[in-house]
Amino acid sequence: MICQNDILPLSPRDIPRAADAFADGFSADPVYTMILRGETAPRSALRDFFGHYITECKGLRLYRYKQGDGYLAIYFSDEIGEGPAGHPVARRLAPHLILEDHYENAYGVLDLMTVRRESRGRGIAGGMIRFFITECEARGVTPLVEIFDGGHIPLYEKYGFTVAHQKTVDGVTTYVLEKRK
């Protein structure tokens, strides 16, 4: 089982590796596949977007699992600031985001999570989800996840999340999952 101490804050020197890992992990995600259609170098555009996002989004908390086998980005609604809204990928992504349409009270969001392909199947994703839930419980806020791939829902259901809202835009469904107390 993954220990809470295995999840460490991301240092600035880890950001390029994290952006690369997020680009790998999200390259087949339905919404990113759709919004990057027509890009001559979609993986490069995705790496550039994640690099900008994780460095420019105020209030985003970044973590890595041990030596970078997995990466996690979370935020709390009362701390998050502006992100790179002007980035081309962010502009194309905006219509698919629905979380803020449904929640006014304080909440925590597991914003990004990826585990390197060669490290999958070792419980890293579950450990990062438990870490996120613990952080939310310590703050007394509702844990939420917004995803674009329904195939990931069973993973979150194992930790008590249920689909609270969903919306389809341009053939891609966005799901908001909520963990109730």
Tell how many helices (H) and how many strands (E) occur in the chain.
6, 7
Contacts of 75 (CB under 8 A, 6+ apart): 57, 59, 60, 61, 108, 109, 111
Whether the per-residue pLDDT at 9 is higher than 80: the answer is yes
Across 61-69, average pLDDT: 90
3-state secondary structure of 73: strand
pLDDT at position 170? 82
Q: For the segment 121-179, what is each residue's pLDDT rounded down to a tens digit? A: 999 999 999 999 999 999 999 999 989 889 999 999 999 999 999 988 888 888 999 99
Q: Which two tokens stand for residue 147?
A: 């995803």
Whether the per-residue pLDDT at 3 is higher than 90: the answer is no
Residue-range domains of the chain with CATH: 7-179 (3.40.630.30)
C-beta atoms surrounding 180 within 10 Å: 9
43, 26 Cβ separation under 8 angstroms = no
pLDDT at position 87? 58
Rg (CA), the chain: 15
pLDDT at position 89? 61
Q: What are phi and psi of 155, to 5 degrees?
A: -60, -45
| Comparison of pLDDT for 104 and 114, the residue scoring more | 114
